[in-house]
Amino acid sequence: MARTILITGCSSGIGWDCARTMAARGWKVFATARTEADLQALAKQGVTPVHLDYRDAASIEAAITTVYDATGGTLDALFNNGAYALPGAVEDLPMDGLRDMFEANFFGWHDLTRRIIPNMRKQRSGRIVQCSSVLGFMYLKYRGAYTASKHALTGYSETLRIELDGSGVHVSIIEPGPIRTRFDANAVAAFKTWIDPTGSPHEALYRQRMEKLERGRGSSRTANAFQLGPEAVTQKLIHACESPRPKPHYYVTKPAYLLDAMRRTLPARAMSATMRAISEREAKET
Q: What CA–CA distance (Å, rounded) separates 44 from 61?
A: 25
Q: What CA–CA distance (Å, rounded) separates 257 from 178?
A: 12
Q: What CA–CA distance (Å, rounded) separates 55 from 86?
A: 15
The b/e string for 187-216 (b: 16+ C-beta within 10 A; e otherwise) is: bbebbeebbebeeeebeeebeebbeebeee
Q: What are phi and psi of 127, to 5 degrees?
A: -125, 125
Burial of 161 (0-12, 13-18, 19+ CB in 10 A): middle
Whether 206 is catalytic: no
Query: Could you say which of 84, 146, 156, 251 is catalytic?
Result: 146
Where residue 41 falls (left for φ over 0; alpha for ψ -120 to 50; beta otherwise) is: alpha
Q: What CA–CA distance (Å, rounded) separates 139 from 240?
A: 25
Rg of the chain over all Cα atoms, to the nearest angstrom: 19
Q: Is 36 helix (H, G, I), strand (E, B) or coil?
A: helix
Q: What CA–CA distance (Å, rounded) separates 155 from 61?
A: 25
Q: What CA–CA distance (Å, rounded) separates 67 from 7?
A: 11
Instruction: Report, as residue numbers or ranges, the catalytic residues.
Output: 146
